[in-house]
Amino acid sequence: MTRTKRLINILQGLVMIVLAGYLVLFPTESLPLVLGLIGLGMTLNGIRSLTYYFSMAKHMVGGKTLLYRGIIFLDVGILTSSLADAPSRSLIIYIAAVCIFTGLVAILRAREEKTGGSRRWKWRLIYGLIYILIAAAVLYCGFAWDLPEIAVDAYALGLIWSATGRIASAFRRTAIVYIQ
């Protein structure tokens, strides 16, 4: 990783931490902001995947997967952006769905690592179970107690987790492989 890329990763991580701090301090005002961030992120990810598909991946093995992923992300991003008038219910559902998906992927990776003989599978399993418990808490508190702010807190927690991972990866040494 170049120095410029490391600096960009650090700055992006710091911006994410500041944004998470704002979300925690003002949770009720942040509901439309979080929904807008999710919609914008999914829409941009979909456009990026579609652009990559039509420019390069059309003739690659597995290129259609990028096409399908781009279409799904673009559709979900536009749908999320259109639900801005009812941010509390849709935000609860989106945050819970993202947490459940992340937890299930982590559990499946833990299962794969266990069959591969890795010792890290226990931590990945615990990580996945914690994400599923967070999703259950978001659903329960959001719908039973009518507290959509818990979804904003869960989103802020995920932002902090992602920001610390981004900053840590900027300081991690990377090997350069030369092929002769």
Question: Is pLDDT of 37 > 90?
Answer: no
Q: Residue 177: its pLDDT value, please?
A: 67
Reduced to 3 states (helix: H, G, I; strand: E, B; else coil), residue 138 is helix
pLDDT digits (tens, 9 = 90+) for 102-124: 899 999 999 999 999 888 899 98
Give CA angle at 41 (36, 46), nearest 5°: 130
Q: CA 1 → CA 12, 90, 120, 178, 180, distances in Å?
A: 15, 38, 25, 14, 20
Q: Residue 175: its pLDDT value, please?
A: 67
pLDDT digits (tens, 9 = 90+) for 47-67: 999 999 999 988 898 889 999
Question: Is pLDDT of 172 > 90?
Answer: no
Q: Which amino acid is residue 56, in one-letter code? A: M
Question: Is pLDDT of 19 > 90?
Answer: yes
- Average pLDDT, integer, range 163-171: 91
Written in H, E and C, the secondary structure of 23-58 is HHHCCCCCHHHHHHHHHHHHHHHHHHHHHHHHHCHH
pTM: 0.80
How many angstroms separate the CA atoms of 42 and 48, rounded? 10
| Widest pairwise Cα distance in the chain | 63
Q: What is the mean pLDDT of the chain?
A: 89
Q: Which two tokens stand for residue 99?
A: 């947490």
Enumerate the H helices of the chain as residue ranges: 3-25, 31-55, 63-82, 87-116, 121-139, 149-171
Nearest Cα to 34, choosing from 156, 174, 157?
156
Question: Is pLDDT of 147 > 90?
Answer: no
Q: CA 157 → CA 65, 99, 120, 161, distances in Å?
A: 30, 11, 23, 6
pLDDT digits (tens, 9 = 90+) for 74-105: 998 998 888 766 767 878 888 899 899 989 99
